[in-house]
A and B are shown apart, each in its own frame.
Chain A
């Protein structure tokens, strides 16, 4: 009798846990249609091949560099570990996390996020953190990122945060309860549409142009970590002009790079040299590049990388060539679909914020 009760008790516990787990799987956002940026961090683990170049940072990396162009033109294996408004501490812990799986030769970090010295938004935190596998890096990332009204436990059990999404569930939530589709091309977010750059407002004068202490300290940690692992760190400012990148910030980053003996390249003044035409190479009026722009940027950057670092051209390596051919096919298929939608409907229907599920 006692044994029966014990088994029944165990069954209840197991069932409760099982139900909660299943509900959690159902209720957490899937980021498969529309706002797909929340899928990016998790996608990295699905890519089992190694990478000689790893990008980390915000939308200025994942929308501005085509990883496929880097492969096709230079045989460079790369991955963009980007996420929406990824802050410097997010980038540091994502780098730390990536180094558990591989040691790239070059790490590229986009410096725009230095303008923020404190967490900005729970939504962005979630998109940068939830997709990480559990490790000390994830724990530290949560601790460094939480807003005042956030709780650590909500990251451990996302069900606590998302329990009331039940009334917002869509077909995607059921379809992707156990598996997700790839939404990027080794981290690159594709948009082929065009919305020409217009006039930007003048930058607002700041009382203090000093970049934040916390942000700078995490960039220093990035430098130290890369040096410890024998990785070359390259700091970049993507070529897009808005949000405004102040000269005073540029000088501080340049000084930091010089002091730490790392490269820093601001690509804003190099738009012409890269071949960017911001009446054609942007999909959102100049904030980010579209695919034609990202391919030009990747081609320019790939040439520089090849010239300055001992990177391997893997195109003649059968194993890598086969892996990357699949990626190229996926890239071309998505590109074709986006152009088809543009031609047919005059806008993208399956991509971007207004995508129809």
Chain B
């Protein structure tokens, strides 16, 4: 009888041990601790193209909070809840610069930086209205030319220059979060 009791205890203990093992870093009910809407950012370094606005460096995949602290109140702000409440996608507008963020474990990261007009320019001096030749002179040959955009890659970011008639029509920095 004692032996059976021992075996029963052993069984329960084994089950409990199996349950208790492993890390508890991703315990959230729906697993949001592990991933994000656009991809996993926990291991993504913000080591890509740098855009500077009002003296503040903004890099795709960087945490947004220090940027909002430095830049202050945005001109416009928009947020949307993702399906099943897996965090919020936020859009901050500072004058002619629009920053989209993505959430990961309650932290917002820079997803895209869009330059809306020719009052702002990249660090290398390219603005909307620059020529495609100007872009190539500053940045060299792109990683990809889609026919409507020149795509440059650096670290965990891309820099896209949309163009029409050989003139830059859009400038967007993107985070790579695969």
Q: Are A and B a genuine interacting pair, yes or no?
A: yes
Which size bracket describes the interface of A in this complex?
35 or more
In the complex, identify which listed stretch (B30-38, B59-67, B119-127, B130-138) lies at the interface while the others stay far away: B30-38
Segment 69-108 of A: residues with Cβ below 8 Å from B: 84-85
Question: In the assembly, what is the distance between CA of A193 and CA of B56, in Å?
Answer: 41
Once the chains bind, are B27 and A204 in contact (CB under 8 Å)?
no
Once the chains bind, are B30 and A163 in contact (CB under 8 Å)?
no
Most buried by B among A123, A164, A287: A123
Minimum Cβ distance to chain B for residue A43 (Å): 15
Mask, B86-102, CB within 8 Å of A = 1, is: 10000101000010100
With both beta carbons as reference points, the residue of chain A lying nearest to B162 in the complex is identified as: A205
Residue of B14, B29, B76, B116 near A168 (CB, 8 A) is: B29
Known contacts A20-B15, A20-B18, A149-B40; A84/B114 CB under 8 A: no
Q: Is B149 an interface residue (CB 8 A)?
A: yes
Which size bracket describes the interface of B in this complex?
35 or more
Residues of A within 8 A of B86 (CB): 84-85, 121, 123-124
Once the chains bind, are B78 and A201 in contact (CB under 8 Å)?
yes
Once the chains bind, are B78 and A12 in contact (CB under 8 Å)?
no
Question: In the assembly, what is the distance between CA of A204 and CA of B34, in Å?
Answer: 27
Segment 136-178 of B: residues with Cβ below 8 Å from A: 144, 146, 148-149, 151, 158, 160, 162, 169-170, 172, 174, 178
With both beta carbons as reference points, the residue of chain A lying nearest to B39 in the complex is identified as: A120
Residue of A125, A164, A205, A285 near B23 (CB, 8 A) is: A164
Minimum Cβ distance to chain B for residue A190 (Å): 15
Residues of B within 8 A of A85 (CB): 37, 82-84, 86
Segment 180-229 of A: residues with Cβ below 8 Å from B: 198-202, 204-208
Residue of B81, B83, B170 near A124 (CB, 8 A) is: B83
Most buried by B among A15, A23, A38, A201: A201
Q: Is A236 an interface residue (CB 8 A)?
A: no
Once the chains bind, are B11 and A16 in contact (CB under 8 Å)?
yes
Q: Is A284 an interface residue (CB 8 A)?
A: yes
Minimum Cβ distance to chain B for residue A15 (Å): 4
Mask, B67-78, CB within 8 Å of A = 1, is: 000000000101
Residues of A within 8 A of B22 (CB): 160, 163-164
Minimum Cβ distance to chain A for residue B52 (Å): 20
Minimum Cβ distance to chain B for residue A289 (Å): 14
Q: Is A242 an interface residue (CB 8 A)?
A: yes
Minimum Cβ distance to chain A for residue B168 (Å): 11
Residues of A within 8 A of B158 (CB): 207
What are 15 inter-chain pairs, A to B, with CB distance below 8 A? Answer: A19-B11, A19-B16, A31-B30, A35-B30, A121-B32, A124-B83, A148-B40, A149-B35, A163-B22, A164-B24, A199-B78, A201-B93, A205-B149, A206-B149, A207-B149
